[in-house]
Structure 1
Amino acid sequence: MAQTDDVVRLVRDVLGAGDIVGVYPHGSAVLGGLRPHSDIDLLVVARRRTTAGQRQALTDGLLALSGSGAPGEPLRPVELTVAVQDDIRPWAYPPRCEFQYGEWLRDAYLRGRTPEPGASPDLALLVTMVLRGSVALLGPDPDQVLDPVPPADVARAMVAGVPELLAELGTDTRNVLLTLARIWTSLATGDITSKDAAADWALARLPAVHRPVLARARAVYLGEEEERWDDLLPQVEPHAQYVVRRIGRLATH
């Protein structure tokens, strides 16, 4: 995909080819294939820490290469995560993330905010998906670069991300609903699936009153329906809270 190639080229130009261990896809690309509304999710494993100038250059470049997610946008949204190999191998929780770009923060980037390094439990899930996908866009195979993440760390990373997801329910409704379904599915089954497969699993277990919201999110994600929430808006919050309660019960066992 030309867009992915452009992002990899940006990373090479900014970080320097010699300072990149590898670039690896995760998310939908390795969990069943890209859907109409899928992001391009990439993990970059670097040899050394980034500078403020490099992080700014990555942000500026990605603002141009990443789609905003607006209807009719020709570019897919990009989620790019950079981690230093020595910060994630040997594995320790919580891992340190060197840089992360995501479209949910586009407005903040345009106001001058630049992603900063810091602890990122979500890397547990990203590394696990990268190893499962076993695809290298640049560098050696991921199992030569990354250590497996203990399942307990994957589970607690998922649970740690729930409050942030709920805070975005009103602005990123479809993605939040599908991600909550995937967390519920993963905690119950021990497997990480695509968002639509997780929605299928959850829909079979939801009370009838809570199914329409997730069914809409799944259909939009697959390109079967246009995105709209006005008709289901009163049901969105109760659905999310129901799923969060199910997640909470599994997390305490």
Structure 2
Amino acid sequence: MKEGCRRFRDFCDKEAGMSVKNDETKIPVEASRALSIVENCLGTSLLGVYLHGSAVAGGLRPNSDVDLLVIVSRPLTHADRRFLVAELLKVSGRYPTDDAGRRPLELIVFHRADLTASAYPARSEFVYGEWLRDAFEAGEVPEPVSDPELTLLLAQARQEARALIGPDPVKLLPVIPDSDIRRAIGDALPALLGTLEGDERNVLLTLARMWRTLVTGEFVPKDVAAEWAMPRLDADAAVLISHARGVYLGTVEDDWRAWRRQVRQVADELGERVAALLSHNS
């Protein structure tokens, strides 16, 4: 960890305008290793590297990914993409369990020229995540992609991210209009509901967070969104949201076999609440 941070500091000393964030946020070891990979691959085209997600908002939970957002001054080459995939596969923890105890990495690269408030949906140059491991190990290389979830990610990262290299995130990340946040939630909703089976915890908590964001305009950790949602639901639905929250916090097992029918009902109810708010605000 200390060696990694020293390397990043040395790198920043060489690059005018670069800085390493020095606050109380602990840099996960997986982030330290990923930063070294990004530095080796992208060098002087790096404008900023940001830690976001659970690591900076409420703390890493037992099943949390380590989330990194990278901003570059040029498009990635095919060789860049192949190098990043090959090296990140070596340091990212497998999901759902990793024999070495490493956490999964999610690393997304954006080209600075694509980060404009008028660009919808947001476009990324490169995405690494453990849900793509099988494809990467089979030789696939990620290409640029536009997705409403990237718009939501940028909006949340601008609010909470911590700079590891580069300026404060508000200097590089665009202001996402409220209209685009609502649009992105609406566009992402059908796909989210379609992935419920096998990902019950994440889907229920993401729906709760969408609901809360539409009501309050804020992005909060998933357990906080669940706490907010529970008293606003009937008792049976609140039990399932409480269970999802417990799984997220690592206090209960990720077992939904006793609630398969009820899970779908609660997910649909949350989806309807989100859709109603979107319709009301349109």
1:36 corresponds to 2:62: yes
In the comparison of the two structures, how many residue pairs are matched?
252
Unmatched 5+ stretches in structure 2 = 1-27
- 75, 90, 93: which one aligns with 1:49: 75
Q: Is the 8 A contact 1:91 1:147 kept in 2?
A: no
Residues in 2 aligned to 1:203 and 1:226: alpha-carbon distance in whole angstroms:
19
Partner of 1:182: 209
1:128 corresponds to 2:185: no
* Larger Rg computed on CA atoms: 2
Q: Is the 8 A contact 1:26 1:126 kept in 2?
A: no
Residues in 1 aligned to 2:240 and 2:135: alpha-carbon distance in whole angstroms:
29
Per-residue Cα deviation, 1:162-183 (whole angstroms, up to 9, x for no partner): 2222232113221122111111
- 32, 43, 52: which one aligns with 1:5: 32
Letter in 2 for 1:40: V
- CA displacement at 1:111 relative to structure 2: 2.8
Per-residue Cα deviation, 1:82-133 (whole angstroms, up to 9, x for no partner): 1101101354222211111122222222333322102122222222222212
Partner of 2:20: none
- 65, 70, 74: which one aligns with 2:91: 65
Q: Percent identity?
A: 43
Q: Is the 8 A contact 1:80 1:100 kept in 2?
A: yes
Partner of 2:249: 222
1:105 to 1:177, Cα distance in 2 relative to 1, 3 A: farther
CA RMSD of aligned residues (A): 1.7
TM-score, with normalisation over the residues of structure 1?
0.93
Residues in 1 aligned to 2:93 and 2:125: alpha-carbon distance in whole angstroms:
22
Alignment of 1:1-253 (within 5 A): 1-14=28-41, 16-71=42-97, 73=99, 74-89=101-116, 91-253=118-280
Q: Is the 8 A contact 1:134 1:143 kept in 2?
A: no
Residues in 1 aligned to 2:134 and 2:74: alpha-carbon distance in whole angstroms:
28
Per-residue Cα deviation, 1:126-146 (whole angstroms, up to 9, x for no partner): 222222125101111112212
Comparing 217-226 with 125-134, which one deviates more in the overlay?
A: 125-134
TM-score, with normalisation over the residues of structure 2?
0.84
Letter in 1 for 2:92: S
Per-residue Cα deviation, 1:52-84 (whole angstroms, up to 9, x for no partner): 222222222222222223246511111111110
